[in-house]
Amino acid sequence: MPKVVVVGGGNAALCAALSAREHGADVVVLEWASKPQRGGNSAFSGGAFRVAYDGVDDIMKIVPDLTPTERETSDFGQYTRAQYFDDLARLSQYRMDAELGEILVSDSLDTLIWMQRLGVRFVPIYGRQAFKVDGRFRFWGGLTVEAAGGGLGLIQSLNTAAERKGIEAHYGARAVSLVMDGQAVSGITYIQHGRSHTIPADAIILASGGFHANAEWRARYLGRDWDLAKVRGNRFNTGDGIRMAIEAGAQPYGHWSGCHAVAYDRNAPEFGELELLSQQKNSFPFGIMVNARGERFFDEGADFRNYIYATLGRAILQQPGSIAWQVFDQRVAHLLSGEYRIRQITRVEADTLPDLAAKLDGVDPAGFLQTVARYNEAVRADVPFNPNTKDGRCTIGLAVPKSNWANPLDSPPYIAFGVTCGITFTYGGVRIDANARVMTPEGKPIENLYAAGELTGGLYYVNYPGGAGLMSGSVFGRRAGAHAVRRS
């Protein structure tokens, strides 16, 4: 029985482990985090998966317990392979590795069906990706399903499946170096409880995330002030897997100065905490955002939020003091997602705009009031507002336009939320091929070494479509596990 060691404890790692076990391997998982903190970045996610589907019949394959009422009151539409591939290519400014993108798209539906059979329950993303208008939900932005229980539910389901299949997991085990036999990988060394251990293996699958939790690497590769960003996700993703692969001869690949970063609560902890998951603030398309000068700096309605939210963190980081405020009124307050209703939040409220301006910490009140007055005058009130579509309700004549969902701020009480930059994951990593084998600069695979998830590069440049990260981790984790055993 071949021996496969998987480094990491998130979605990509567990899919790799389950796939390798399914194909007959003896599998060991090395997770740096403790058992209560396990799950990598996946545990901090909302659990959304971007999948290509042709209609409700495909959704039923993923969500077999969809009720007749849900079918009747929901317009799932379709999200074709061509649309998926185009979104990946367009948001990467056409730099995406086309082969990896095509695999992600073509394998997405079958991979979710496989995960569902393993015990992961999926549900439609009502509320976040579909609003009820005229008695019917319409899904938008190519994002339709999520794991029940979000990221934590996903990790619990995958770990339950792994335990049921006899996969061995070591917690508090930090992988530090690959064991090489010439140019082939033959094992891995890790540290656990202060002691060093080495495991011989027929294959190693690296799935330990990118380097978003490494402040020194962020400043080195992402640029000035990125060491100041708050870490939205896992504190253990410090680039160890990338470093080990490069030391073994891997080709660095992808957008090393790019990352996924969101609007994040201004007073959130330095690192993400599993007990405090709702710190990002993604309902910004329905309001306006202002910086310390009281000025808008971002087209909040440029596209559906899951196509632009990953670039917002960078925009906020570049503002004075790296802070901003999101402002809403009662016209849209009911559309705000649950992350705006938690207790641990930077929030102010007022019955008048001047009173609100006085409460926006760090913001010039006069600048804010001037911005709101100009914005209100610029809204095209003759265009109907519809949160389920890119409605074209825009502003006219502003230096920073709002392209959709523009409503005047005129329905008190007004509410505002203080945000800063929260980094989710980095885009740069190592190069893999179609079977998730780690490649050298010469275009050859490093024997017995595989990678999946956020430590791989080539899919995301500049921007990112929401839900593609978990999906790519599952697709290439599954491929890595299968190929690692078949070739052994």
Name the average pLDDT for the chain: 96
User: At 486, is the pLDDT very low, low, confident or very high (cuts 50, 70, 90)?
Assistant: confident
* Cβ-contact 177, 247 below 8 angstroms: yes
Higher pLDDT, 162 or 69: 162
Give every CB contact of residue 23 below 8 A, 6+ residues apart in sequence: 481, 482, 485, 486
- Return d(Cα 218, Cα 403) in angstroms, integer: 32
Q: Tell me how far apart the alpha carbons of residues 145 and 65 are, in angstroms, rounded to a whole number.
A: 13
Is there a contact between 329 and 414 (Cβ–Cβ < 8 Å)?
yes
The answer for residues whose C-beta is within 8 angstroms of residue 442's C-beta and 6 or more apart is: none
Record the tokens describing residue 393, joined without a space: 């309700």
Give the SS3 label for residue 477.
helix
pLDDT tens-place string over residues 215-260:
999 999 999 999 999 999 899 999 999 999 999 999 999 999 999 9
| pLDDT at 132 exceeding the cut of 90 | no
Instruction: Measure CA of the first residue to CA of the last residue in the chain; give whole Å.
Output: 9
Q: Cα dist. 200→20, 27, 32, 190 in Å? A: 16, 12, 19, 12
The per-residue DSSP string of 413-446 comes to SEEEEEEEEEEEEES-EE-B-TT-EEE-TTS-EE
Specify the amino acid at residue 193.
H
- Cα gap 20→267, rounded to integer Å: 42
Q: What is the distance between the alpha carbons of residues 101 and 434, in angstroms, rounded to a whole number?
A: 10
Reported as a pLDDT band with limits 50, 70 and 90, residue 386 is very high
Q: Greatest CA separation found in the chain?
A: 71
Domains of the chain: 3-210+427-486 (3.50.50.60), 261-422 (3.90.700.10)
Task: Taking residues 380-392, report their average pLDDT.
Answer: 95
What is the rounded average pLDDT of the residues 398-426? 98
Residue 128 has a pLDDT of 82
* Helix axis angle, 98-118 to 468-486, nearest 10°: 90
Mean pLDDT within 58-74:
94
Q: How many CB atoms lie within 10 A of CB 183?
A: 11
pLDDT of 483 above 60: yes
| Mean per-residue pLDDT, 155-181 | 98
pLDDT above 80 (res 277): no
Q: For residue 488, what pLDDT is reported? A: 54
Check: pTM over 0.75? Answer yes or no.
Answer: yes
The pLDDT of residue 13: 98
User: Sign of torsion, CA 263 267 270 272?
Assistant: negative
For CA atoms 479, 480, 482, 487, the dihedral sign is positive
Q: Which two tokens stand for residue 35?
A: 């058992």
**Mean pLDDT lowest for which of 9-18, 111-120, 137-146, 199-208?**
137-146
What pLDDT score does 275 carry?
Answer: 79
CB half-sphere exposure, 182, CA atoms < 13 A: 3
Work out the average pLDDT over 363-382: 98
Name the region of 351 (left: φ>0; alpha: ψ -120 to 50; beta: rest): alpha
Residue 466: is its pLDDT beyond 90? yes
The DSSP line for 15-78 is HHHHHHHHTT-EEEEEESS-GGG-SGGGGGS--EE---BSSHHHHHHH-TT--HHHHHTEE---
